[in-house]
Structure 1
Amino acid sequence: MGESRRKIPNPIKREVRQRCGFGCVICGLPLYEYEHMTEWAKTKRHVADEITLLCNRHHAEKTRGLLPIADVVKANENPKNLRSGDSAPYDLHFSGETCLVSMGSNRARHFFSQSPVANALVIDGFPVIKFEKISDHLLLSLRIERRDGKRILEIDNNELKYSIDSWDIELVGTSLTVRGGLRKILAEIKFDPTQGVTISRGTFARAGHVIRVEPDYMFDEKRNVRMSNSFVDGCPGWAFAF
């Protein structure tokens, strides 16, 4: 019985995420847990309409009786992210004297002793993936877009926000995946607070100049150039420029 409770089927999880706007229905935070609005002990079943998303704070408040179930049900009917169109911002955390940015099979490592700014990907002179060290804070900025230029997700100095106008968005552990449909991944990012960031899939654009990242390569659509298995180590200023 306990095992069944832990394993909510993936299609039901996805339905719950879609209905709840891919975040806590109360505050919108993308760090969430699946919560049965009526306690499992009473229902002993997994039904999407009976499950919602709560961040760990609001989940704990509900469990301890500090958050009325009626308030959870009301928020579930009109989730925070569906009202705003974006996820609530979440602050990422990075630290260290170096950073590693992986894009497909290409990697760039930067030493902050050389420069406080690491421009990992530059398009037409503009840094679209950047780490910057200010005092003891290591800050990441990047933006991933759809083919039509519409933003999928954006990180501005570690503040992560994403548009909920996607078929599915899932943050599990340190991995963020955005899907446009079954087996159609639009963006796939893994955050490593002590190392940097790995981008397996995504589209980066600047004034119509598009760089597409796939698991094995980067592709410059403007110049029809593919790049794979490159490693830039300790290059100050920028790593990959198109």
Structure 2
Amino acid sequence: MDNSTNKHGLKRYVPSDIRSKIRKDAGFGCVVCGCVLVDYEHIDPEFNQAEEHNPDKMTLLCIACHGRVTRKIISKKAVWEAKSDPKSLQDGYVHDLLYVNTEDMEIKIGSSTAKNTKTILTIHGKPIIWFEPPFEDGEPSKLCAIFYDDNGIPISYVNRNQFRALSTNQDVKSESTKLSIISGGVKCLVMDREGGKVLHISKMQGKYLDTSVSIDNEDQLILKQGESSLVLGKFNVENCGTAIHLGRIPTIKKYNKLSLALAIAQNNRSRVLLDLRNKLTGWILGEEIFNLDYELVGFLRDNKVSSIVNEFIGCLIGSYIAHGDSCYENGEPIYISSENREFKQRNPEIGYDVSFRLF
């Protein structure tokens, strides 16, 4: 804690209630660029002339933008304008780049570790935490993650080492090397991102569909799915494809298998679906999508494909379910294998195959 004072005896330390108001007003990031790594700054008067910490005259600035203000590259007028319309509230998120060590595809979750393991956690067929290995010589491995709160609402993404936290209805803090998110009064995520070190997720409490993942006060990883629960005190996984895989892709057995098979065979408007290997994966009949076991797995509306839990997956392009980018518009990363990247290179007009989310 910095207890230095200015000529009026005002301590540089800003009380927590004032910091909380400043963070909320600024959208939890630098008002100019949206970076989550910030300092609490007096705009006018500056700290050396200030007699109080007045949140109406203070804001959040990252180190880079504050340096530009100090050097008068960014004017005080521009800072006031940014304070009235913060960048992160315009975008809906704050961001920063992670400089953690991903060379060995290693991560620490609670007291457990996974190393040289591509997929750390998959829930109901959706990768939640994974590493994307290098596709070219000299390229680093990159971390991807999707974090939810207790209500199953996405709160944060790591998209190939780029951290993004949604800046609405939650408190996002960056203190030293720790990033934390509080949603609904619950601390949903704490990660230590010290440069050159392995990323450490020391706190996580969230839910995807019927599956919750949390880390308790003893650093144990607790997994709950329906009525079942699993407590992992400490585990070390190395050189595996997937560390934890929970549940299957959501499906509904809506129709009699034989009747549905006949309907698909006899309906000249039914369509086949292929994966990136051009293998049959399912069918479309009307607005419904079925797997090879004749189970309902998704819906097609206006050429957009969603799962049976109404999560957008991609678009129907020919016989493929695909997406043109490696992440969705909200910043959520998509799992991309080397085979899938090659598929996109061969078929740029189609994009990445995302049928694995349904089949």
TM more than 0.5: yes
Give me the CA root mean square deviation.
Answer: 2.2
Change (3 A) 1:136 1:83: closer
SS in 2 for 1:137: coil
The sequence identity of aligned pairs, in percent, is 23
SS in 2 for 1:162: strand
Match of 2:163 in 1: 160
SS in 2 for 1:29: coil
* Counterpart-to-counterpart distance in 1, 2:180 and 2:79: 26
Aligned length: 232
Match of 1:189 in 2: 191
Match of 1:227 in 2: 231
Q: Which TM-score applies when normalising by structure 2?
A: 0.59
* Counterpart-to-counterpart distance in 2, 1:165 and 1:97: 33
1:103 to 109, 132, 135: 109
Contact 2:189 2:201 in 1 (8 A): no
Unaligned regions of 5+ residues in structure 2, if any? 247-359
- Residue 179 (1) aligns with residue 149 (2): no
SS in 1 for 2:32: coil
1:218 to 213, 219, 222: 222
* Counterpart-to-counterpart distance in 2, 1:237 and 1:191: 24
Match of 1:76 in 2: 83
By percentage of residues, which structure has more strand?
Answer: 1
* Counterpart-to-counterpart distance in 1, 2:184 and 2:101: 34
Contact 1:167 1:181 in 2 (8 A): yes
SS in 2 for 1:26: coil
* Counterpart-to-counterpart distance in 1, 2:127 and 2:202: 16
Shift of 1:217: 2.9
* Counterpart-to-counterpart distance in 2, 1:220 and 1:156: 26
Please identify, of 134-143 and 92-101, the stretch whose mean Cα deviation from structure 2 is larger. Answer: 92-101
* Counterpart-to-counterpart distance in 1, 2:199 and 2:93: 24
Q: Which TM-score applies when normalising by structure 1?
A: 0.86
Q: What code does the residue aligned with 1:240 have?
A: I
SS in 1 for 2:93: coil
Instruction: Choose between structure 1 and 2 for higher RCO, CA contacts under 8 A separated by at least 6 residues.
Output: 1
Shift of 1:186: 2.1
Contact 1:103 1:218 in 2 (8 A): no
Contact 1:94 1:137 in 2 (8 A): no
* Counterpart-to-counterpart distance in 2, 1:95 and 1:147: 29
- Residue 5 (1) aligns with residue 11 (2): yes
* Counterpart-to-counterpart distance in 1, 2:103 and 2:161: 17
Contact 1:212 1:221 in 2 (8 A): no
Unaligned regions of 5+ residues in structure 1, if any? 112-116
1:1-242 to 2 correspondences below 5 Å = 1-2=5-6, 4-38=10-44, 39-87=46-94, 89-95=95-101, 97-105=103-111, 107-111=112-116, 118-134=118-134, 135-180=138-183, 184-192=186-194, 193-205=196-208, 208-215=209-216, 216-242=220-246
Shift of 1:190: 2.0
Contact 1:104 1:228 in 2 (8 A): no
